Structure formats: structure tokens, C-alpha cells
Structure 1
Amino acid sequence: MPRLAAASLAGTAIEFYDFFVYGTAAALVLGPLFFPTFSPLTGTLAAFGTFGVGFLARPLGSVLFGHLGDRRGRRPVLVLSLLLTGASTVAVGCVPSYGSIGVAAPVMLLVLRFFQGLGLGGEWGGAVLLTAEHAPPGRRALWSSFPQVGPAIGFVLANGVVLALSATLSDAEFARWGWRVPFWAAGALALGGLLLRWSIVESPRFLEIDDHARVPFVEVVRHHGRLVLLTAGALSAGYAVFYTVTTWSLTFATERLGVSRTVMLTCVMAAVVVKASLTPFMALLADRFGRRPMCLTGCAACGLWMLPMIALLGTGQPLLMFLGILGALVSFITMFAVIAAYLPELYEARVRCTGAAVGYNLGGVLGGALTPIVATALAEHSGRVPWGVGAYLTGVALLSLACFALLPETRPVPVPAVEPVTG
């Protein structure tokens, strides 16, 4: 289990590094470079629009790779999804700007972002299923939480590279070539991830399946459609909160509040590190008290914290901004540390790779793709404290809370030992 968990964690870290580095670039430089004929606001919205395309591609990726995972095994999904995402990310770093090739530049950016999302849509399902299906039932949430640490590591890597470049390069150098370096680095990371994953053994639960679904997605829609919609709605709040604090807040703080890029990246990265360290602990609580109670607690905390978070962010003071972001991410991880065990347990094994991944990535469309765009629009005509953004996030949290309330508990119940009969 430690070796398998480490390989899954490394893979998700690399793939989410690829995904997050685009989000950071979209918040900081892609608007002026690829949409220079737009106004600053419209350019930012357009850059976040290409960011959102990755989320729209993720459910399609979960259908394609889920079919492979349910028909041929979880292991091939991990290798192919990593190859696709890594190659697409390196290619983004090679796209000329609008000033060099005109409208072809944003079109190429859009296509490559789509392929990034396609690969990531398959990654999550394969990684968490391999870990969850190998793990002992009483510690399934704990072991399955390690792939959930991967996104935090990927975020810190992506933003750490950007932070280092921002600190050493002038704004002109960063805009001219510095922003491309994190994308090129994805190639080396992808090769390292492939070496780790090549020796992973197939899931024992998959090998036990005798009646593989012929078209898993059709079966999921036919027999588990309500479950997919509920899980997508339940997860949307987590995505909305995470991408508000890790993507939109960078633009808002640097452009509207005058906070330096270095300070803002440091605040967000520090909060993400704390969130990552708490992930196994939250998962242990889920093994002890259940998946659904943890998800309901985390979702309710998100709803209660959004307005205070926006108020703290609006101060422009680094310590207060950090506290606001930290509270949001702790609430987020209270539910998302559990999801890697919870979603697979909701679906039968023969369609688990498709069902769990589609629900997870549809939640990303609802919460992750739209939120930076909506938040940017809502904040445009507000003062230093965009209360409309806080109200929007609170509403999303209430929707997710209702969806979680309709989902069943799945924590395996220990079988009591039978006393031997004597006498």
C-alpha cells in the first residue's frame, strides 16, 4: 500500500501541476498576451474562459478513460492520461503569442487546454480506484486520501516555479518568456511519473469482475443517472471554493487591491500546504465516523466561511488574506479528503471507473469552470470587498449541502468477531 499510494500521489501531483500552472498563467499573463485587443476585464474573462474549457473536457475524458478503466483495467488509464496531459502542457509553453501569429494563438491555446482537461478527466478515476480497491476496508479513506494530496503538491510546485520566476525576472521578461518555463518543466515531470507508474499492478477488484459492462457510460446513465447528478452537485461547492482562492483571488488581489504577485502567491501556497498536511487526518476521521458526516460538515463550513473570507481578502493585508484563504481550504479538505473513498463506494465495481470519474468531473464543470468567470464579473463593479462573490459561493455551498444530504453513507461496517462455541 505505501508504494501504491506513493505512485498514485506522484501521478496526481504531476497531472494537477499541469492543470494548475495554466490557471496561474491565466490569472497573471495570458489575457494581455493572447487577447490584447480586448479590454483588461474582457481579456481576463477570455483567459479564464480558456481555463474553463479544461473543465468542460474533463467529463468527456472521464467517459473515454472510464470506458478503458472499466473494460481493460485501471492501470492503463494512469499511463495514457499522464502522457496526454504532459504532452499538452509542454505544447502550451510553445504556443506563440497573439502578436506573432494573430488569432491562431488563442485557438491553439484553446485546443491544447481541451486536451489537458481530457487527460486529467481520466487521471483521477484511475488513481483513486487503484488505491481504494487495494486498500483494506477499515483504512480505505486513509489510503485513498493520498491521491488527494497530489493536487496540493501540484499546486505548490506550479506556483512555486511561478513565484521563483516572478522574484528573479522583470515583468517584461516574465511576460516575454518566463511564463513558459513552468509548462516546459511538465515534460520532465511526466517522464518521472511514467517511470513510477509502469510497475504498478492491476487492481484485484477489477480482476475479480466476470461481467464487464459493454458500454459503461450507457449503463451509468441508465442505472445511476440520479447518483451522478447528486455527486456532481455535491462536489460543486468544493471546486468553487478551491478555484476562487487559488485562481480568481490572484487576479483580484493583484489587479484590484494592488497586492504584489509574490505576496499573493505566498499566501495561497502557505494555505495549500496546511490543507495538504490535514488531508490524511480528515480521512482518518472518515474511517472512524463515516464519509457522509465529514462531507456535510465541510460543506456547511464552506457556506458559513465564504462571506468572512471575502471580507478578509478585501483588506489587502497578507496575514488576514492568508487566514481567510486557510479557513476556506480547511473547510474544503474536510469533504474532499473523503471523496476518493466515498465516490468509488457509491458505484458497483463493473462501472465504478466511469461513474465515479464522471460525477467528480461534472462537479468540476459546475464549480470550477464557471466560478472564476462569475467571480470576475461580480467583482468588477464592487468596491474592495466584493460581497457578491461571497454570496454566490454561499449559494453554491447550500446547493451542495442539499445534494450531500440525499446521498447514502458507504463506510464499511466492521463484522463482529464470532466467539467460538465451547463445552
Structure 2
Amino acid sequence: MSAESGAATTAFPSTVASASVPHHGVNPADLATGVIIGRTSEYFDFFVYAIASVIVFPKWVFPYATPLNGTLLSFAIFALAFLARPIGDVIFLAFERIWGRNVKLTVALILLGASTVSLGFLPGYAQVGWSSALILSILRIGQGLALGGVWDGLPSLLAIYAPEKQRGWYAMIPQLGAPLGLIVASGLFAYFTTFLSAQDFFDWGWRYPFFVAFAINVVALFSRLRIVTSPEYQEQFEALELQAAPVKETIEAEGRNIVIGAFAPLASFAMFHMVTVFPLSWVLLFTKQTPAKFLLIELVSAIFGVAAIVASGVLANRIGRTRVLSITAAAIAAFSGFAPQLLNTGDVGEASFMILGFILLGLSFGQASGTTASNFAQIYRYTASALTSDLAWLFGAGFAPFVALAISSRFGVIASGGYLLSGAIVTVLALAINRQLEED
């Protein structure tokens, strides 16, 4: 979720929640605050890069390509982070076993911050030629490796303290970081694209959001370290066996559940990029909409997303998390059949697509974390949850902007709905398989 990485790690069986573990000094409010700050900082990094991959990098790094091909090349590099994240998992989980969670988290966040702030100094094609794309690729891989290592276990601990009938509510807390990060990132880019000339924006204005991302990372680092390094929380991690297990051993023991967990939230993760990254690219390439205006539409829509995530917690407590995911997957399937065409119908259509899309995203994404975590044996849960999360992002979202734009540019924007529909179908199938396994 890690950042883009917090998904897939916040559901635990009732036996764990009620287990007799020491609670001394553990404050659920502190946990929730740490989780939200951590996830917001990670998603802010994510969206700063995502927005720049649409409005900056095609011109800055690929000026020799057509606008469409430049954006597709930019999206190809965008996907590198998702390919690198599982590798980062393997590296940093081993790092944690040797040096501990606090050292691992510090190194991962420093790598994330360094990769992000370095993007703010990225030379363009005019300065260094093809090396610009190479540098961008290396820094994007650095972000991906770091995102594979920033999992701190706090959402898992938060879920353990969730009252038995409040699991849906506690599951949605880490997910709030996504729309909150988007609101800040969209606001920053909207400000600079509005009040700077095009020349000034491309000369220097686009760099500032990356510097802000670095500053936010520093704040998030100290906030999270304050919690995970305290004796009270260390005691909880040890008592509940929330420790890094060897990756190979975890895959051998929990491979089937990891695969199911990676595919269960596919509808949510596909929807994630279909209402955040893809529409920005489409309207800028194929309509007369300005970046600043659409970013404001995106910002307002993300507020609806925050409300929908909160609502998902209420609904999940009443009807169950699996039912919420199944219903929203069906709704996303219906959305895929008509909504993408709204992006070609002007301001009202764009706003309608974005608001409705964010409401569906919030309801589904709010409960997309930890769908199968209760199936993991406790000794493997920490590592298996991290792997499940990053594989879910890879399969569900890593190539979504590239695929959606490529097929839409060839067959029309309605074709992007096919990508969403496939994600919804996979989610329903994965949930059905998981339910059957639980019954067996």
C-alpha cells in the first residue's frame, strides 16, 4: 500500500482479536494516527509521481514522441515500481530479520525519500538525451524497492485491537491514506499549473511537489518510528508473532492463500487507477480540458472517496466485508459498461465519472485490505500479508494506466471498461474460491 502497500493486511480471525495478549501502553488512537500518517505520506509520493507521469514526463523526458506515445512510455516506466515492490519485500524482510523492524523501516523510508526528492532534480531529454529516461527508470525502481520495505505492521496491530463487531471500521482506516494523499498532490499541482506560466511550470514549478513529498516523508518517518520502536509496541509485535518469516518458507506454506489474496481485491485496485491516473491522461490527450481544472475535479471527487471509505466501514460491520466486496465488484462491473464514455462529455460528464467512480472506489477499496489474512497461519501472517499486498498492486494496478490508455486510444474510451470488467470478474471468482476454502 506498504503504500501503495497497506492493503491486504488488516483482517484477523476472531480468535486472535480476543487472544490474551498484553495491552499495556498500547493506544488505539496512536495506532490509527500512525497508520493514517504513514499511508498518506506513501500515497502522496505515489500520486505526485502519477500526476507528473501524465503532465510532465511525456514532454520532459520523451519530447521526440507524439503526446500519446510519450504518455505510454511514461506509463511503462510508471509500472516499474510495481514490478520492483515484491523484490523490495524479499530484500527488506530479510533486512528486518537481521537488523530489526526500526532499522528496516528507516532504510526503506530514506530510500523512498531519496528516490522521490531526486526526481525533483531530474534532467530532461534536452539536457542529457536518452539518459533522462534511464535516470527516471532507476529512480522509479528505487521507489518500488522502498515501497516493498515500508510495511511496519501497524495496520495488523490495529486490526488485532478492533472489537469483534467493528472489524470493517478498523479495516478502512489505513485506506484513508489514498484519497488524502491524492487531495494534497492534486491541490499542489493544480496550484502550480494555475498560477505559473507553462514555461515556468516546465522549467521549475513541477519539481516542488517532489520536494514537498520528501518533507512529508521525514515527518512520517519520525511519527512511525516513535510508535514501532517503543517498548510497548515491540512487546505486542513479539507476543502476537508479528515478525518477519523467511519468504521462501512463507510461500511454501501459504502460497495458495497468497495467490487468492492477491486476486480478491482486483476490482478495487483496477478501479483505483481507472479513476486517478487514467482519466487525467485521457482528458488531456483527447479533450480540451486544462490540467488545473481536471485536477480540481479530481480533488473534489477524492473528498467523496474519503466519505465512501468511511461508509464502507459502517456497511461492513452490518453486512460483512466479503458481501461489501462482492456487491461493489458487481457495481464496478456495471460502471465499466457505460461510465468511461462520460469522460468525452465535458465538465459535467467528467465530474460525474469521477464522483461516481470515487464513491465506488471508496466502498470497495475501504474493505479491500486483508480479505484472506485470517487464512494465514499466525507465524507467517506478517510476511504473507506484505507479499499479498504487493502482488495485488502488481496484478491489479501496475499496468492499468498503460493498458487502459493503449486500448482506449485504439478502440475508444469505452474499451477501458473492459479492463475494469475483468478485474470485477476476477474479484468475484477469488472471493467465491476463498469462501469455499473457508467452508472446507
TM-score, normalization by structure 1: 0.89
Q: Report deviation, 1:51.
A: 0.7
Alignment partner, residue 4 of structure 2: none
Q: 1:330-370, CA deviations, whole angstroms, 9 ceiling, x for partnerless residues?
A: 22222321233535433233222221121121121122121
C-alpha separation in 1, matches of 2:436 and 2:306 = 25
Look up the match of 2:325. Answer: 295
Query: SS state of the match for residue 276, structure 2?
Result: helix
Q: Which residue pairs with 1:340 in the alignment?
A: 369
Q: Which moved more, 1:272-281 or 1:105-114?
A: 272-281
Structure 1 equivalent of residue 23 of structure 2: none
Offset at residue 2 of structure 1 (A): 1.2
Contact 2:372–2:434 (Cα < 8 Å) also in 1:
no
CA distance in 2, matches of 1:268, 1:211: 37
- What residue in structure 2 maps to residue 206 of structure 1? 237
Whether the aligned pair in 2 keeps the contact of 1:291 and 1:409 (CA below 8 Å) is no
8 Å CA contact 1:73, 1:206 repeated in 2: no
In the other structure, the counterpart of 1:250 is 280
Give yes or no for the alignment of 1:161 onto 2:188: yes
**Does 1:196 pair with 2:223?**
yes
Quote the Cα distance in structure 1 between the aligned partners of 2:130 and 2:50.
Answer: 21
Equivalent in the alignment of 1:320: 349
| 1:363 match | 392
- CA shift, 1:84, in A, is 2.2
> Contact 2:237 / 2:243 at 8 angstroms: preserved in 1?
no
Distance 2:169 2:39 in 1: 16
What secondary structure does 1:342 align onto? coil
Following superposition, the deviation at residue 75 of structure 1 comes to: 5.4
| 1:173 paired residue number | 200
Aligned residue type for 1:103: W
157-166 or 254-263: which moved more? 254-263
Provide the rounded CA distance (Å) in 2 between the counterparts of 1:371 and 1:396: 10
Alpha-carbon offset, residue 74 of structure 1: 5.6
Residue among 301, 304, 310 paired with 2:340 = 310
Aligned residues between the structures: 407
Choose the corresponding residue for 2:82, options 38, 46, 55: 55
In 2, Cα distance between the equivalents of 1:213 and 1:178?
41
* Distance in 2 separating the partners of 1:19 and 1:99: 26
Q: 1:39 to 1:229 in 2, by over 3 A?
A: same
Q: Name the amino acid aligned to 2:85.
A: R
Give the Cα separation in 2 of the matches to 1:104 and 1:389.
32
CA positional deviation for 1:173: 1.4
State the match for 1:272 in structure 2.
302
**Residue pair 2:81, 2:142 contacting (<8 A) in 1 also:** yes
Quote the offset at 1:205 in angstroms.
4.9
Structure 2 unaligned runs (5+)? 1-27
Assess if the C-alpha contact under 8 Å between 2:311 and 2:363 holds in 1: no
Equivalent AA in structure 2 for residue 273 of structure 1: I
When structure 1 is superposed on structure 2, of 229-238 and 167-176 the one drifting more is 229-238
Report if aligned partners of 1:275, 1:330 keep a CA contact under 8 Å in 2.
yes
Give the CA deviation at 1:259: 1.0
- Taking a change above 3 Å as real, the CA distance of residues 341 and 167 of structure 1, as seen in their structure-2 partners, is same
Paired AA for residue 179 in structure 1: W
For the residues of structure 1 that align with 2:36 and 2:334, how far apart are their CA atoms?
31
Contact 2:120 2:208 in 1 (8 A): yes
Matched residues in 1 for 2:89 and 2:302: separation?
26
1:123 to 2:150 alignment: yes
Deviations 1:82-133 (A, max 9, x none): 3221221001111211111122211111111111122223335634223223
Q: Relative to 1, partners in 2 of residues 1:25 and 1:245: Cα closer, same or farther, differing over 3 Å?
A: same
Change (3 A) 1:118 1:195: same
Quote the RMSD (CA, aligned, Å). 2.5
- The question of whether the paired residues in 1 share the 8 Å contact of 2:53 and 2:71 is answered with yes
State the Cα distance separating 1:48 from its structure 2 match: 0.5
Letter of the 1:12 partner, please give it.
Answer: R
1:78–1:126: 8 Å Cα contact kept in structure 2?
A: no
The 3-state SS of whatever aligns with 2:292 is helix
Measured in 1, the distance between the counterparts of 2:105 and 2:361 equals: 26
> Mean alpha-carbon deviation: is it higher for 151-160 or for 346-355?
346-355
Secondary structure of 2:264's counterpart equals helix
SS in 1 for 2:75: helix
Structure 1 partner of 2:408: 379
